[in-house]
Amino acid sequence: MAHIQEPQVTVLPPNKEKIKKLWRVAGILGIITAFEFLIAFTMAHGPLKTSIFVGMTIIKAAYIVGEFMHLRYESKVLLWAILIPLIFVVWMLVAFIYEGMKLSIINF
Amino acid sequence: MGASYGKLMMWFFLLSDAFTFSSLLVTYGLIRSAHPAYSGTVDAFTFSTEYWPIPEKVFEAVPFLHGIELPLVFVGIMTFVLIMSSVTMVLAVEAGHRMDKKAVEKWMLWTLLGGITFLSCQAWEWTHFIVGTDTPTLVKDFVNGVAVTKPVTGANLSINQYGPQAFADFFFFITGFHGFHVFSGVLLNFLIFYNTFTGVYERRGSYEMVEKVGLYWHFVDLVWVFVFTFFYLV
């Protein structure tokens, strides 16, 4: 008779401190989003409003990537291997928005 | 790099996916900045193909509250749902580190619920966007080579009532591509839940698969943070 051996598993108790920290990050993300809503309806459209939104988005992204995706606690080589290539995105963004504004002058 | 092969490859896949999403969002920025912006007051705003619409006037509907203007409320709820499902995912990963099968199952189910809720919300939002508002917008169009001005409600890939045609095209492409990622994420999460439930990871002695799919799921949340800012807020 075949006998399947049950795996011996030791379940550790929940890491209270870690879980509390995760909920705190969730709270920060919620507060930043609520603040974005506040700005969306109280400020006039313009470059300042856009920069505030971009800044807050980067803060939120840093929390998600750093804490939820655990990148802050991985080795530094991995961190930079992910972050450095993203410089190209910033370059692309600046180049194309500039191009778009020039096109706007030509077309309209 | 200190991470296992699987996690490392997931990171590099996500990096390449980030490039795909950035190219979509950067193109959105290019086309938007190449169109005239609306210059009047927010209250006096009406839809026109002459200028780029302000998003809070386009996305102001909430299910069951027809005719009431609630700018960006529904998309705010969607953002909240996705962030919460990211939290439950990271709690599932934490439970996996402790080999706690029951807790992983519980948190994976919550994550699945969040993902499915988000997709349902998006289905409603798309339907509303496609059907349109009660009052039509006059849009210039070509019918059999003749220029005509006709009333249009709703939007599709060839004509739309909200503004320049590119606005609707970008809405469908960007939120659609993100929605497809959420859909794949829900399938992967279900697979993880199933394998946890049947004890695959317990027998393997490691819940690392939860972590890898977790990375993907957080990435989907991350992309939404950017889509939310650049498509709905700015």
pLDDT 10s digits, A53-71: 999 999 999 999 999 999 9
Q: Tens digits of per-residue pLDDT, B12-28?
A: 999 999 999 999 999 99
The answer to whether B19 faces chain A, any CB pair under 8 Å, is yes
Share of chain A above pLDDT 90, in %: 58
Question: Region B109-125: what's the mean pLDDT?
Answer: 96
Q: How confident is the model at residue B202 (pLDDT cuts 50, 70, 90)?
A: very high
Query: In terms of Cα–Cα distance, which of A77, A61, A80, A81 is closest to A69?
Result: A61
Q: Do B83 and A29 make contact, defined as CB atoms within 8 angstroms?
A: yes
Residues A22 and A66 in one domain: yes
Closest residue to A82, CB basis, from B11, B33, B226: B11
Mean per-residue pLDDT, B195-217:
94
The answer, yes or no, to whether residue A7 has pLDDT greater than 70, is no
User: Do A103 and A58 reside in the same domain of the chain?
Assistant: no
Contact assessment for residue B94 and residue A18, using Cβ atoms and an 8 Å cutoff:
yes
Q: Does A26 touch chain B (CB under 8 A)?
A: yes
Exposed / middle / buried, residue A57 (Cβ in 10 Å: 0-12, 13-18, 19+):
buried
> Domains in chain B: how many in total?
1
Q: Is B41 on the interface with A (CB under 8 A)?
A: no
A57 touches chain B (CB under 8 A): yes
Q: Which of A56-65, B61-70, B117-126 has the lowest mean pLDDT?
A: B61-70
Q: A84 is in which domain, residue-wise?
A: 77-108
**Mean predicted lDDT score pLDDT of chain A:** 89
Is residue B49 one of the residues assigned to a domain? no
pLDDT at B26: 95
Residue B141 burial (10 A CB sphere; 0-12, 13-18, 19+): middle
| B15/B2 Cα distance (integer angstroms) | 18
Q: Helix/strand/coil (H, E, C) string of chain B?
A: CCCCHHHHHHHHHHHHHHHHHHHHHHHHHHHHHCCCECCCCCCCCCCCCCCECCHHHHCCCCCCCCCCCCCCHHHHHHHHHHHHHHHHHHHHHHHHHCCCHHHHHHHHHHHHHHHHHHHHHHHHHHHHHHHCCCCCEEEEEEECCEEEEEEECCECCCCECCCCHHHHHHHHHHHHHHHHHHHHHHHHHHHHHHHHHCCHHHHHCCCHHHHHHHHHHHHHHHHHHHHHHHHHHC
Which CATH number fits the domain that encloses residue B207?
1.20.120.80
Q: Is residue A69 located within the same domain as residue A21?
A: yes
Residue A43: pLDDT band (50, 70, 90) is confident
Look at residue A6 in the predicted model and tell me its pLDDT.
63
pLDDT at residue B121 is higher than 60: yes
Are A43 and A88 found together in one domain? no
Which residues is B138 bridged to in the sheet? B151
Identify from B4, B8, B12, B26 which residue to disrupt to test chain A contact, counting A C-beta atoms within 10 A and taking the largest count: B26
Of B22, B71, B202, nearest to A89 by CB-CB distance is B22
In a domain, B79, yes or no: yes
pLDDT digits (tens, 9 = 90+) for A9-38: 888 888 889 999 999 999 999 999 999 989
Residues of A in contact with B29 (CB under 8 A): 93, 96-97, 100
Please indicate, yes or no, whether residues A59 and A86 belong to a single structural domain of this protein: no
The verdict on ipTM greater than 0.90 is no
Asked if residue B87 is part of any domain, the answer here is: yes
Cβ(B185)–Cβ(B221) below 8 Å: no
Domain range for B186 is 5-36+60-233
Residue A25 lies in a domain: yes
- Please report the pLDDT score of residue B192 as a whole number: 96
In a domain, A6, yes or no: no
Domain count of chain A?
2
Q: How far apart are CA B87 and CA A29, in angstroms?
A: 11
Asked if residues B157 and B173 have their Cβ atoms less than 8 Å apart, the reply is no
- Quick check: is A11 in a domain? no
Residues written for chain B: 234
Indicate the range of A55-69, B35-49, B209-223 predicted with least confidence.
B35-49
Tell me what pLDDT residue A2 has. 61
Q: Which has more confidence, B216 or A7? A: B216
* Position B142 pLDDT exceeds 60: yes
In a domain, B89, yes or no: yes
Residue % of chain B over a pLDDT of 90:
70
- Measure in Å the smallest separation between the Cα of B3 and chain A Cα atoms: 7
Question: Does A7 or B82 have the greater pLDDT score?
Answer: B82
Residue B144: predicted pLDDT: 86
Residues of B in contact with A19 (CB under 8 A): 91, 94
Q: B14 near B218, Cβ under 8 Å?
A: no
Mean pLDDT of B140-163: 88
Distance CA A52, CA B193 (A): 39
Mean pLDDT of chain B: 92
Radius of gyration of chain B measured on its C-alpha atoms: 21
Residue A40's pLDDT is: 86
Q: Which two tokens stand for residue B59?
A: 């996305």
pLDDT band at A1 (very low <50, low <70, confident <90, very high): low
Report residue B44's pLDDT band, with 50, 70 and 90 as the boundaries. Answer: confident
Average pLDDT over residues B170-186: 96
- Are A91 and A67 contained in the same domain? no
C-alpha torsion sign, points B116, B122, B125, B130: negative
In a domain, B108, yes or no: yes
